[in-house]
Amino acid sequence: MLRAAPRREGALALLAALPEAAVLLEADGGVLGINDAMRGLLGPALPAGRGADPAIWFQQGWPAREGESEVTLATGARLRALLAPLGTEGLRLLRLSATGPAADRLELLGRMAGGIAHDFNNVLGIVTAASAAARLAEDSVARLAELRAIEEAAERGTALVRQLLAFSRQQVMAPRVLDLNERVGLMARLLERLLGAGIRLELELDDPPRRVRADPSQLDQVLLNLAVNARDAMEGRGRLRIGTGSRLVLGEGAGRIPPGRYATITVQDSGPGIPPDVLARIFEPFFTTRIENGGTGLGLATVQGIVAQSGGHILAESPPGQGARFTILLPRHEGEVESTPIAPEPVPAAPAHILLVDDEPVLLRLGAQALERAGHRVTTAEDGQDALEQLQEGLAPDLLVSDVAMPGLDGVGLADAALALHPGLPVLLLSGYAASTLSVDLREKGWGFLAKPWTADSLCAGVAKALDKRG
């Protein structure tokens, strides 16, 4: 009995060190521990805390017996599972790894890499050409026009990264309980203007209305992407029907949907439909049949990623002569509808001493300039070790603002070390990765987070919010 706790600690240490997604299970099947790779694979929509039932993570193939098997996660990912005993006490280790033909995976990765390179080369081409033109511009008006072109290219690049994050199910989400009919009705007003006079929009809203828990802006993005695809398929003339409803799945449903009670959104157009060979690939990233019209192939991949990250599923069908039909299934929620939070008026932060850390010299310089223009005193450090040495030598800032991904001591490690020297020091982390991928619970720590690329305004607003937590 006395050796049980050390044995479990050793098993948890082994779990954390594994590179692949893995979870440590109790004898009764409940979760004892889970590593970061598994958390990233499941996403925020699936419960993964201690004691959780891992069976709900799978559409099919839950490996209740020890050995190797193929499984499908609720997110739709097909994986190889290996369930093996781990010592005594009935502990078991479940490891998940990729499966499927290697050639298919390489083809998909190659297409993704090619699509990303194509789009980013366009963005970088604009930045390069406009920068050169700005240097040669003879008057301020021409120079400002080129600078605006650079800003627009940066915005395009940022939008592309957001689409990729949505596809990989690492988008930052802010879910709340929504009335599905109300959300679809609000979005319909925008869609009517977007579709044009040649397309008739029809709503069929179920009564009573169903509730779901989702990020309203992301749900709007799903409807917008599907509507734009339908408009293009109908070439500006036809009928688009959006309906809400409910579905009870008792056994494994179409598309390997696990049993449960779902609220549904159906988007159906009167266009020519989708050929079977295209239908099988429409959710693949960078697969498009409209490349000559500027299609990137990320629209439906983004839709699928958002739906999956919300704990839902999407089905695509094209019955002969009935156009294309997309059905979104989201888990029903019985909680009260949450009203839209009213953002408080931004209050400029009082001048403070900020330690700013980034291993990218240009970002470090521009960040310091933005904060100094806002009235703050800024001390800079070129990496985590440099910042830690300044803190150990007596530097006592009011706020630590640090990039996360840095060589050597990263932002999370620096924040922990800084708090050991200055308990209660507010922290604002900056990262180009989604907050959900960080190896730390930001809410539990009370740390702020700001996604890159930041603007001068968003950086100052993030700093003001972080400083406000000092009370």
- Residue 52 placed within a domain: yes
Res 4: pLDDT: 41
Sheet holding 78-85, edge to edge: 31-34, 21-25, 92-98, 78-85, 67-73, 58-60
Res 420: pLDDT: 94
Question: To the nearest whole number, what is the mean pLDDT of the chain?
Answer: 79
Residues 245 and 317 in one domain: yes
**Comparing 108 with 91, which gets the higher pLDDT?**
91
User: What's 64's DSSP letter?
Assistant: -
Does the pLDDT at position 353 exceed 90?
yes
* Average pLDDT of the segment spanning 432-446: 70
Q: What percent of the chain has pLDDT over 70?
A: 76
Res 255: pLDDT: 59
Does the pLDDT at position 263 exceed 90?
yes
Res 2: pLDDT: 36
* Average pLDDT of the segment spanning 217-228: 87
Q: What is the DSSP string of 417-467?
A: HHHHHSTT--EEEEESS-GGGSSS-HHHHT-EEEESSP-HHHHHHHHHHHH
Res 45: pLDDT: 64
Residues 215 and 322 in one domain: yes
Q: How far apart are CA 128 and CA 122, in angstroms?
A: 10
| Paired strand residues for 9 | none
Query: Residue 28's domain is classified under what CATH number?
Result: 3.30.450.20
Does the pLDDT at position 339 exceed 50?
yes
Residues 186 and 318 in one domain: yes
Does the pLDDT at position 107 exceed 60?
no
Does the pLDDT at position 61 exceed 80?
no
Least confident of 192-206, 276-290, 335-349: 335-349
Res 116: pLDDT: 55
Residues 301 and 434 in one domain: no
- Residue 39 placed within a domain: yes
- Residue 336 placed within a domain: no
Res 410: pLDDT: 87
**Comparing 21 with 64, which gets the higher pLDDT?**
21
Res 426: pLDDT: 94
What confidence category does residue 109 fall into, taking pLDDT thresholds of 50, 70 and 90? Answer: very low
Res 105: pLDDT: 46
| Paired strand residues for 204 | 243
Last residue of a domain, one of 98, 125, 147: 98
* CA neighbor of 381 nearest in space, from 413, 411, 352: 411
The greatest distance separating any two alpha carbons of the chain, rounded to the nearest whole angstrom, comes to 82
pTM: 0.50
Segment 133-143, tens digit of pLDDT: 777 777 777 77
What confidence category does residue 110 fall into, taking pLDDT thresholds of 50, 70 and 90? Answer: very low
Residues 52 and 117 in one domain: no
Q: How far apart are CA 185 and CA 191, in angstroms?
A: 10
What confidence category does residue 414 fall into, taking pLDDT thresholds of 50, 70 and 90? Answer: very high
Q: How far apart are CA 95 and CA 280, in angstroms?
A: 29
- Residue 345 placed within a domain: no
Residues 321 and 186 in one domain: yes
Residues 107 and 92 in one domain: no
Last residue of a domain, one of 83, 98, 113: 98
Res 440: pLDDT: 72
Q: How far apart are CA 226 and CA 229, in angstroms?
A: 5
Residues 186 and 309 in one domain: yes
Res 308: pLDDT: 83
- Residue 371 placed within a domain: yes
Res 22: pLDDT: 87
What confidence category does residue 171 fall into, taking pLDDT thresholds of 50, 70 and 90? Answer: low
Query: Residue 430's domain is classified under what CATH number?
Result: 3.40.50.2300
What confidence category does residue 398 fall into, taking pLDDT thresholds of 50, 70 and 90? Answer: very high
* Average pLDDT of the segment spanning 233-261: 84
Q: 226: domain range?
A: 176-331
Does the pLDDT at position 214 exceed 90?
no
Does the pLDDT at position 128 exceed 50?
yes
- Residue 338 placed within a domain: no
What confidence category does residue 18 fall into, taking pLDDT thresholds of 50, 70 and 90? Answer: confident
**Comparing 65 with 412, which gets the higher pLDDT?**
412
Task: Report whether 96 contacts 38 (CB < 8 A).
Answer: yes
Least confident of 4-8, 120-124, 334-338: 4-8
Res 287: pLDDT: 64
Task: Report whether 428 contacts 466 (CB < 8 A).
Answer: yes
Res 352: pLDDT: 93
Q: Which two tokens stand for residue 66?
A: 């020890």
Cα radius of gyration (the chain): 25
Residues 203 and 290 in one domain: yes
Q: How far apart are CA 422 and CA 374, in angstroms?
A: 25
* Average pLDDT of the segment spanning 442-466: 86
Last residue of a domain, one of 167, 185, 209: 167
Number of folded domains that form the chain: 4
Res 119: pLDDT: 57
Least confident of 56-60, 176-180, 277-281, 337-341: 337-341
Residues 323 and 393 in one domain: no
Res 468: pLDDT: 83
- Residue 154 placed within a domain: yes
Query: Residue 199's domain is classified under what CATH number?
Result: 3.30.565.10
Res 283: pLDDT: 80
Q: Which two tokens stand for residue 171?
A: 């988008």
Res 325: pLDDT: 94
Residues 94 and 108 in one domain: no
Does the pLDDT at position 291 exceed 80?
no
* Count of C-beta atoms within a 10 Å radius of residue 194: 14
Residue 328, sorted as left (phi over 0), alpha (psi -120 to 50) or beta, turns out to be beta
Does the pLDDT at position 125 exceed 80?
no
Residues 41 and 63 in one domain: yes
Res 296: pLDDT: 53
- Residue 54 placed within a domain: yes
**Comparing 347 with 40, which gets the higher pLDDT?**
40
